Structure formats: C-alpha cells, structure tokens
C-alpha cells in the first residue's frame, strides 16, 4: 500500500499535463500512487494520462465523465489507498523533493493535520501585481499560529501544494459543495474542528498563473462568495452567539461586506 495518494483532477489540460505528471514521476520519494481523474476532457488529456499509466504502474486513470471538480477530487480520494493525501494540478510542477519533505514534516509533527509549502508562481511574464502580493503574503505564513491568525483574511494555502492526513480529511467530510471555493471551505472546516496546520519553509511547488484558472472564471471563487463563506464560518467561531457586529472601515469594501452581513441576518451596530 503506497504511503501517499496524490490526487490530480483535470479537464482539457492540453500540453501542460505531460510535464505536470513528469514532475510527479521525478519525485525523490517513490512510495506514492497518482490518481489522475479525467473530468470529461475533450482535448486528448485522457490519452496523455493513459500513456503515463503504461509507463508507470503507480499511475491510475479514472474517467468518470464530466462530474465537476469537487466530485473528481472526492473520487480520487475514495479510490486512493494512501494514509497521506496530496494534491496536484494538471498545469503545475513539483520540486523533486516536495513529497519527501512534506511527508517528513508530518512524520516529525504527528499533531499536524495538513502541511503545505512555499510556492512560486510562473511564468513570470504576465503575473499581475495582485498575484505577486498574494504570493508574498502566502509565503509569509508558515507556523500554525500565523496560519490561523490570518485564516479569515484570505486562503493561506495554494490548494495544489497541500498534503493532508486521510483521517483528518475524512473526519471533516472531505470536499463539499456549498457554492463557494471548495479548498478554502475545507481549511475553515478543519480549523473549526481543531486541526493543526503547517508549512515546509521552502519553495516546493511551482504554481502556474493562467487567465483560464477557475479562480478567475468560476463564480464560486468570486469575492461575493468568499465573503459569504467567511461570514458563514465566522458565525460558527469568532461571532458565535452574537446578534450584532461592528464593521471597521466605511469604504466601498466595508459597505459591500456590510450588505452580506445584513443579508445573513446580523445587525450592524456601528461602522
């Protein structure tokens, strides 16, 4: 039974799937299985994954049809056998020591449930200033305390960079569809359940920035739905039992968030 189950869902990845899987097969840690889940590709992506299956017996292709990202992720988890679950995207690249370093981190920190790493966005040409600032902020958060402190600011992990204990993932119900970002939703549910987080303080994942990313094209990742999600989990944690809140900042952002708060049935006592 492999130690790590690596979940890689894809939909029309084009030529980028081949180098992504190649970076997996080049890992210094060899005790893994890759579940490549073809989410209804029509560009030959399934054939690319199938060729890799013939080259490496640790790779399995699952072809459920067009089921969507969340169902594809959960299918990969169900079909994998590793005690540790890792993520990978079809257009990213992994440092050859990523799996080794993250597995070693979890082994050395048995109370940590989820570990990520520092990331580097590429290709450098065309990366917007906002993405650069987000990456710098993301990479500044390493310890459990830092990650929890800023958890409601923005998602503190790049989704394809994580490794999580299977038992911890299953304990919170895996990925769920609530109409907002499935990864951030998972971190928040894990936080509420008392899970611990960490990061290997090294760049071990290369994160492709593309105009076609779901975070830019799918409404689940809109600012409005991020605000709804944050408020949903704030009401179960920091705002539990409160009927009214204060909003710091009366600018455009504060007023937009205030409308989300009022729509959720909370009163605003003051700005």
pLDDT given at position 253: 64
Cα–Cα distances (Å) from 108 to 103, 119, 171, 192, 242, in that order, read 9, 22, 22, 24, 39
Please write the tens of the pLDDT for every residue from 75-105: 999 999 999 999 999 999 999 999 999 999 9
Same domain assignment for residues 155 and 259:
no
Question: pTM score > 0.85 for this model?
Answer: yes
Please write the tens of the pLDDT for every residue from 179-206: 999 999 999 999 999 999 999 999 999 9
Same domain assignment for residues 119 and 131:
yes
Same domain assignment for residues 120 and 151:
yes
Averages of pLDDT over runs of 10 residues in the chain (271 residues) are 93 97 99 98 98 98 98 98 98 99 98 99 84 96 99 97 99 98 98 99 94 71 92 90 72 68 73 65
pLDDT given at position 249: 65
Same domain assignment for residues 57 and 101:
yes
Quote the CA–CA distance of 46 and 126 in Å, as a whole number. 29
Domain containing 260 equals 225-270
**Helix/strand/coil (H, E, C) string of 73-124?**
HHHHHHHCCCCEEEECCCCCEECCCHHHHHHHHHHHCCCCCEEEEEEEEECC
pLDDT given at position 28: 98
Quote the CA–CA distance of 199 and 130 in Å, as a whole number. 22
Task: Give the closest residue to 161 by CA, choosing from 215, 112, 212, 203.
Answer: 203
Q: What angle do CA 132, 136, 140 make, to 5 degrees?
A: 170
- Domain total of the chain: 2
CB 107 within 8 A of CB 84: no
pLDDT given at position 210: 73
């Amino acid at each position: 039974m492999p130690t790590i189950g690596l979940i890689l869902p894809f939909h029309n990845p084009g030529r980028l799937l081949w180098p992504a899987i190649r970076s997996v097969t080049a890992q210094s840690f060899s005790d893994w299985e890759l579940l490549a889940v073809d989410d209804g590709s029509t560009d030959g992506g399934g054939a690319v994954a199938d060729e890799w299956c013939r080259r490496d017996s640790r790779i399995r292709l699952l072809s459920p049809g067009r089921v969507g990202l969340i169902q594809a992720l959960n299918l990969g988890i169900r079909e994998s056998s590793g005690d540790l679950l890792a993520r990978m995207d079809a257009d990213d690249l992994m440092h050859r020591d990523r799996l080794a370093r993250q597995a070693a981190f979890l082994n050395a920190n048995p109370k940590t449930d989820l570990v990520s790493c520092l990331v580097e966005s590429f290709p450098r040409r065309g990366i917007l200033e906002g993405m650069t600032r987000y990456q710098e902020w993301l990479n500044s958060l390493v310890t459990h305390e830092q990650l929890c402190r800023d958890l409601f600011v923005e998602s503190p992990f790049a989704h394809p960079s994580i490794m999580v204990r299977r038992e911890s993932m299953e304990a919170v119900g895996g990925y769920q569809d609530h109409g907002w970002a499935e990864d951030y939703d998972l971190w928040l549910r894990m936080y509420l359940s008392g899970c611990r987080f960490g990061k290997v303080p090294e760049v071990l994942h290369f994160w492709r920035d593309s105009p076609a990313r779901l975070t830019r094209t799918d409404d689940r990742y809109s600012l409005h739905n991020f605000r709804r999600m944050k408020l949903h989990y704030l009401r179960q944690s920091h705002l539990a039992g409160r009927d009214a809140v204060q909003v710091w900042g009366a600018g455009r952002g504060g007023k937009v968030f205030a409308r989300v708060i009022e729509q959720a049935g909370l009163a605003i006592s003051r700005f």
